[in-house]
Amino acid sequence: MSLFISFEGGEGSGKSTQAETLHKRLVDEHYQSLLLHEPGSTPLGRHMRDLLKGRPWGGETISHGAELFMFTAARAELVAKVIKPLMRQQRGIIIADRYADSTIAYQGYGRRMPIEELVTVNHLATQGVLPDLTFLLDCAPEEGLKRVGELQTVLPLEIADEALGGRVDREGTTRFEEESIDFHERIRVGYLKLAEQEPERFRIIDAAKSIEKIAEQIWSIVSEKLPGPSDAGPPELKLEFPA
Ligand code: TYD
C-alpha cells in the first residue's frame, strides 16, 4: 500500500523540520519513504521555485493570478510525474512539505482569491489526489515570523537560504514574510477552517511545543497507519530526475 502525508503551516511553523524528521525515522525503520517539497521536487517545480523566490523582472512583483498558476503548475507536474505513478504502484510513503491546502490558505485566505475557484484549480492540478493525513503545524504568526527572522539575522544569507529550504530571495527576504501580520493571521484562520472541515484528514499540532515532543506526537499518529515495512527494494525512494 502507499500512504500520502502532507505537512502544512504558516511561516516558521517548523513543518519542514518535522517532515524531514518523519522521513528519516521511516527510512531508519526500513519503510520506503519519499520526501517532496512544494514548489520543487521536479525539474519544472524547481524552475517555478527559482522564479518565485528570485525577482527576475527587476523587482516587479508577480500578479496574484500568475503566482497561483505557478504554484499549481508545479503541483500538477509533481502529481503527474511522481505522486500518481507511486500511488498506482502502491509503493511507499509519500511525504509532502506543503500541498494543495497551501493554495487555499495563502492564495485564498491570504491573498483573498475566491476559495471555490481555487478548489477547482487545485482539483485540476491534483487530479483529485488528496493526502490520507495532513499535519497542520499551528502557531501564532508572530512566533513563526520571529523564528524565521532569527534564522536570517543569525546566519549568512546562503546558509539561511539553505536552512529555510531555499526561500530567501536576492534581497534576503522571503516571499510572504514582508506581508502584514494580518495576512499571516488570515492564513492561520484559513488553515484552521480547513482542518475543521476535514477532521478525518487533518491533525492540528501545537507548533509551540518542542521539536522532540512534536516529532513523537507525529510518529505515534503515523505509526498507527503504517503497514509492515516492505521487504522489497531499497528503503529510501529516490526521485528519478537529475539533480
Ligand atoms: P517554502 O520555501 O516552501 O517555505 P516554507 O518552509 O514556508 O514551506 O516557501 C514557499 C512559500 O510559498 C511559502 O511562503 C508558502 C507559499 N505557497 C503559496 O503561497 N501557495 C502554494 O500553493 C504553496 C505550495 C506555497
Could you give the CA distance from residue 14 to residue 127 in angstroms, rounded to a whole number?
A: 28
Determine the atom of ligand 1 nearest the C-alpha atom of 107. Answer: 19
Residue 172 CA to ligand 1 center (angstroms) comes to 16
Could you give the CA distance from residue 85 to residue 90 in angstroms, rounded to a whole number?
A: 9
Class of domain 2-223 (CATH, top level): alpha beta
Could you give the CA distance from residue 201 to residue 15 in angstroms, rounded to a whole number?
A: 17
Give percent of the chain with pLDDT exceeding 70: 82
Determine the atom of ligand 1 nearest the C-alpha atom of 11. Answer: 7
Closest Cα partner for 52 from 80, 27, 72?
72
Residues with CB under 6 A from ligand 1: 11, 16, 38-39, 71, 98, 102-103, 106-107, 165-167, 175-176
More confident: 47 or 166: 47
pTM of this structure: 0.89
Q: How far is CA 31 from the centre of its chain?
A: 21
- Tell me the pairing of strands 33-37 and 93-97: parallel
User: Which cell is 149 given?
Assistant: 527572522
Q: Which of 16-20, 67-71, 155-159 has the lowest mean pLDDT?
A: 155-159
Q: Which of 19-28, 73-82, 121-130, 232-241 has the lowest mean pLDDT?
A: 232-241
Nearest CA residue ID for atom 4, ligand 1: 167
Mean pLDDT of 207-216: 97
Enclosing H/E stretch for 95: strand 93-97
Other C-beta atoms closer than 10 Å to the C-beta of 106 total 26
- Tell me the pairing of strands 93-97 and 3-9: parallel
Candidate of 48, 52, 102, 147 to mutate for ligand 1, largest count of ligand atoms within 8 Å of Cβ:
102
pLDDT value at residue 176: 80
Residue 38 CA to ligand 1 center (angstroms) comes to 7
Kindly report, residue by residue over 158-178, the tens digit of the pLDDT.
555 555 555 554 444 456 877
Other C-beta atoms closer than 10 Å to the C-beta of 79 total 21
